[in-house]
Amino acid sequence: MTARIVLLHATPVAMAPIHTAFEEVWPEAETINLLDDGLSVDRAREPELSSAMIDRFVRFGHYAYDMQAQGILITCSAFGPAIDRLAKEVPVPVLKPNEAMFHEAVAQGKNIGMLATFGPAVETMTDEFNEYVAQNHSSARLTTILVDDAIGLLKKGDAESHNRLVAARAKELAHCDVIMLAHFSTSRAAASVRQQVDIPVLTAPHAAVKRIQASVLAGRKE
């Protein structure tokens, strides 16, 4: 069933992974890309997400809705409070990049590891994870490792080195029940990480597509 899903990108390195996920999970969807790569640049300069940045992001999301979006999927994990506000202001499903992955991870265990590459996203993702487990009465806990050199290499086009650096830290989380790759861009390293550990390794894009597909199609039936 065709539906228009607008993808909000704050960095171009998130685009290819989500396109691949749509092709494999929901190829019938019409995906439209909106990119403001200045969002990730400016977010990296802020110790905390400012009200001005939240306002800017929400305006970005309203533009997506004005494009007749039937669902909006955000591909950057550093804007949690802004996404929450946007979801309250538009009458279509708005999905954070990691909601669905958190659900899958907590279903597989209580000791959750996460490999991240974009420092400003770690705090918001940790808050979202803790909120998720509290809402679901879970005792799951999160251990995060930041591989802060990797994303710069990826932005320069060196995906191989990005994947190698991320995978090199995976064994530090081998004691966990499951490892999450924090960002859409990090999903490129999934195969390399899986070579280093014997536990499940989850990526955000495929889980997100499945969830927004279910949300949009369920809304049509109501």
pLDDT, tens digit, 9 for 90 and up, residues 58-95:
999 999 999 999 999 999 988 999 999 999 999 999 99
- Is the pLDDT score of 190 beyond 90? yes
Q: How confident is the model at residue 132 (pLDDT cuts 50, 70, 90)?
A: very high
pLDDT in tens, 27-66: 999 999 999 999 999 999 998 899 999 999 999 999 999 9
Per-residue pLDDT tens for 146-156? 998 999 999 99
Closest Cα to residue 144, out of 118, 108, 109? 118
pLDDT at 220 over 80: no
Banded model confidence at residue 219, pLDDT cuts 50, 70, 90: confident
Q: 100, 26 in Cβ contact below 8 A?
A: no
| pLDDT score for 147 | 97
Mean pLDDT of all residues belonging to the chain: 94
4-97+206-221 and 99-203 share one fold: yes
Measured between alpha carbons, how far is 106 from 56 in angstroms, rounded to an integer? Answer: 32
Is residue 52 within 8 Å of residue 96, measured between CB atoms? Answer: no
Please state which CATH number belongs to domain 4-97+206-221: 3.40.50.1860
Length of the chain measured in residues? 222
Contact 37, 78 (CB under 8 A): no
> Measuring CA to CA, how many Å separate 207 from each of 27, 171, 185?
15, 24, 14
Domain ranges of the chain: 4-97+206-221, 99-203
Given the candidates 3.40.50.150, 3.30.450.20, 3.40.50.1860, 3.10.20.30, the CATH classification of the domain at 99-203 is 3.40.50.1860
Which amino acid makes up residue 191?
A
% of the chain surpassing 70 pLDDT: 98
| pTM, two decimal places | 0.83
Q: How confident is the model at residue 99 (pLDDT cuts 50, 70, 90)?
A: confident
pLDDT of residue 82: 96
Q: Is it the case that residue 4 has pLDDT exceeding 90?
A: yes
